[in-house]
């Protein structure tokens, strides 16, 4: 069983490849896929790139070309729900494309001809992800005290489970975040890829799970917060999370 591990940007996967035993790089569809073993598990690392189409292309390549039997997405997201703070972790239980709108032909958010607007995470893979994330948030060595203080990560970093909304927009205006909150009140986080990967995995019957660390609140400050978090925190969290996750997965 091979596990595809996707992130949108290189900083979100920083240092992961160094852990792969017998690593080889394959180029396909203009992307690099790093194939190797970690904790005895076969792993394929790839960058989805940014946005739904790029992510769908990468996910399809992981499945069709590399034969992965499950896909995990790790990376950062903007917090939408009032309870979700910078530094928190969101594990997606379901995924919606918040910019999908073929109304009035189909209901708002419904993916045409699928008869559904939301795609589900795989329950067992998500359970493993939650167990791994629990260890990471409790381990104070993952993010040192100085970094925590700089990002205002006071108090326990919490784990939330719920809807992740994906769209081809970086949400960086408070009114836009408020409109998304009003339209999708149960959405925990907003990002640009997971719902597309969820749809591809649904098409192929491949289990999918996604975890997102909250880098910003999708507000007027989002681009500044996102950039700093991406460079200083995201890679460390991803390394700790994947290291904890792989031993939990069936080999
Ligand atoms: N990824 C991280 N923060 C985001 C935001 N505010 N909008 C979209 N994607 C994001």
Query: What is the pLDDT, as a whole number, of residue 7?
Result: 97
What does the pLDDT read at residue 156? Answer: 75
pLDDT at 144: 87
Q: Give me the count of residues in the chain.
A: 251
Which residues surround ligand 1 with Cβ inside 6 Å?
Answer: 76-78, 170-172, 190-192, 215-216, 218, 222, 226
Residue 69 to residues 122, 196, 243, 251: CA-CA distances in angstroms? Answer: 12, 17, 18, 11
Task: Give the pLDDT confidence score for residue 72 in this predicted structure.
Answer: 98
pLDDT, mean of residues 92-105:
98
- Compute, in angstroms, the gap from residue 217 CA to the centroid of ligand 1: 8
171-229 pLDDT, tens digit per residue, is: 999 999 999 999 999 999 999 999 999 999 999 999 999 999 999 999 999 888 888 99
Residue 231 per-residue DSSP state: I
* Nearest residue to 176 via CA among 78, 96, 76: 78
CA proximity to 183, closest of 112, 121, 109: 109
pLDDT band at 87 (very low <50, low <70, confident <90, very high): very high
Closest CA to 208 of 95, 41, 57: 95
In the reported structure, the alpha carbon of residue 11 is separated from the centroid of ligand 1 by a whole-number distance in angstroms of 14
As annotated, the active-site residues are 12, 216
Q: Are 180 and 98 in contact (CB under 8 A)?
A: yes
Nearest residue by C-alpha to atom 2 in ligand 1: 77
Using one digit for the tens of pLDDT, what is the confidence trace for 106-162?
Answer: 999 999 999 999 999 999 999 999 999 999 988 888 888 888 888 888 777 799 999
Residue to probe by mutation, ligand 1, list 50, 169, 171, most atoms within 8 Å of CB = 171
Strand partners, 33: 26, 46
Q: What is the pLDDT of residue 100?
A: 98
- Say yes or no to pLDDT of 246 above 80: yes
- Ligand 1 centroid – CA 40 distance (Å): 33
Bridge partners of 42, per DSSP, are 2, 37
Mean pLDDT of 242-247: 96
Contact 109, 96 (CB under 8 A): yes
State pTM to two decimals.
0.96
Phi, psi values for residue 155, rounded to 5°: 70, 175
Specify the ligand 1 atom closest to the Cα of 216: 3
The ligand 1 atom nearest the CA atom of 230: 2
Counting from 1 in the atom list of ligand 1, the atom nearest the Cα of 192 is: 9
């Amino acid at each position: 069983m091979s596990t595809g591990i996707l992130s949108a940007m290189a900083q979100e996967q920083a240092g992961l490849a160094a852990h792969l035993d017998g690593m080889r790089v394959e180029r396909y569809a203009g992307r690099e896929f790093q194939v190797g073993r970690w904790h005895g598990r076969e792993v394929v690392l790839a960058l989805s790139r940014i946005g739904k189409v790029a992510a769908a292309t990468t996910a399809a390549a992981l499945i069709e070309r590399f034969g992965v039997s499950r896909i995990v997405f790790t990376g950062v997201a903007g917090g939408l729900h009032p309870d979700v703070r910078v530094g928190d972790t969101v594990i997606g239980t379901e995924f919606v494309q918040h910019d999908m709108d073929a109304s009035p032909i189909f209901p708002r958010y419904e993916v045409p001809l699928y008869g559904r607007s939301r795609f589900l995470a795989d329950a067992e893979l998500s359970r493993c992800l939650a167990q791994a994330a629990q260890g990471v948030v409790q381990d104070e060595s993952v993010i040192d005290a100085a970094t925590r203080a700089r990002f205002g990560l006071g108090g326990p970093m919490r784990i939330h489970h719920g809807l992740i909304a994906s769209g081809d927009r970086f949400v960086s205006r408070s009114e836009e975040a408020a409109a998304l909150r009003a339209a999708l009140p149960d959405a925990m986080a907003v990002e640009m890829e997971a719902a597309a990967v969820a749809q591809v995995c649904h098409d192929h019957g491949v289990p999918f799970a996604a975890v997102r660390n909250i880098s910003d609140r999708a507000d007027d400050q989002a681009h500044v917060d996102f950039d700093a978090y991406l460079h200083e925190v995201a890679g460390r969290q991803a390394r700790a999370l994947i290291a904890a996750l792989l031993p939990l997965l069936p080999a």
